[in-house]
Amino acid sequence: MKQLNRLIVAGAAATLLPFVALAQQTPSSTPDQSAPAQSEQPQQGQGTTFESLDADSDGKISKAEAAANATVSAQFGSYDVNGDGFIERAEVNQANNSQSETPKQ
């Protein structure tokens, strides 16, 4: 039973990993002019932020916006806790907080 619990926790942690970076990063107020131009679609997994996926800056990631990242798109239902069709920062934070709580052995 312990082994099954560890497997579930490990699977949940692996699933939530891309969103840890999303919730932790905030956009800079002034863009760095020396940085190379970013492409329209962020690279899969690396460097993806909540803000980079929130293309219309409404504070939510829609299914269409999530489609820009295959990992986020595949996990959309796991993060849309309230089922409204959007991933909100609070839902990401909630998922990240539950991931950081490790079970006692």
In this predicted model, what pLDDT tens digit does every residue of 15-54 receive, in sequence order? Answer: 666 666 566 555 555 454 444 444 444 444 456 888 999 9
- Residue of 62, 60, 40, 39 lying closest to 51 (CA atoms): 60
* Residues 6+ positions from 85 with CB-CB distance below 8 Å: 62, 63
The average pLDDT across 4-19 equals 64
Q: Is the pLDDT of residue 57 over 50?
A: yes
The pLDDT value given to residue 60 = 95
Task: Pick the more confident residue, 34 or 2.
Answer: 2
CATH fold of the domain at 2-25+48-100: Recoverin; domain 1 (1.10.238)
Q: What percent of the chain has pLDDT over 90?
A: 28
Q: Give me the chain's average pLDDT, please.
A: 73
